[in-house]
Amino acid sequence: MARRYDPDRRRRIIDAAIRVVGRKGIAGLSHRSAAAEADVPLGSTTYHFRTLDELLVAALRQANEGFAKAVAAHGAFEDPRADLADELARMLGDWLSGDRTGVELEYELYLAALRRPALRPVAAEWCAGMADQLARRTDPVTARALVALMDGICLQVLLTGAAYDAAYAREMLARVIGPQAPTG
């Protein structure tokens, strides 16, 4: 029997894994559950992802791409005259007011790195990438502190179910940023 050409199969398996984790958590993800969700043979998942950790790494990378696109679309780092704290608080608000399931899924995958060392480099890439973008508007140490603060704010909102408080976020971000030199 001839092999069917299916260039999108790998991506469909990753998408399926993300949906499974979204519904059942990481504990519910297996090669078998991803294959069933993607409607592909079990051998396809093990062909593309030898281990479950490889599949989780691909899922986390894809989830990270979603946040990176949201950051890029927001343009918070482009205008040097814009108030960085205000822009970041607005960006967090936009992200948290979107698909909450998607945000929770991204954090579940991100925090899975605590128990799955294979995920740690991907989680670190996300932190470093975000800090690099922030360093375009501030120094590298402040950029890292802003990433940590934004992570903390997001986790508090997700874990407590509280509404996002943009004024609080803006105030805390401004404190970390400190006085900004006027530009222009």
What CATH number is given to the structural domain containing 22? 1.10.10.60
Q: What is the pLDDT of residues 22-37, one digit of tens each?
A: 889 889 999 999 999 9
CA dist 57 → 62, 65, 112, 172 (Å): 9, 12, 10, 32
Q: What is the pLDDT of residue 179?
A: 85
Q: Are residues 157 and 72 in the same domain?
A: yes
- With b for 16 or more beta-carbon neighbours within 10 A and e for fewer, the 82-116 pattern comes to bbbbebbbbbbbebbeeeeeebebbbbbbebbeeb
Residue type, 87: E
**What CATH number is attached to the domain comprising 100?**
1.10.357.10
pLDDT in tens, 46-98: 999 999 999 999 988 888 777 777 777 777 677 788 899 999 999 999 888 87
Question: Are 110 and 173 in a shared domain?
Answer: yes
121 in a domain, yes or no? yes
- The answer to whether position 57 is within a domain reads yes
Residues 161 and 140 in one domain: yes
123: Cβ contacts below 8 Å, ≥ 6 apart: 60, 110, 113
- SS3 of residue 31 by DSSP: helix
> Could you report the per-residue pLDDT of 111-165, keeping only the tens digit for each?
888 899 998 998 888 889 889 888 988 999 999 999 999 999 999 999 998 899 9
Domain range for 15: 7-50
Q: Is the pTM here over 0.95, yes or no?
A: no
CA distance 89 to 171: 9
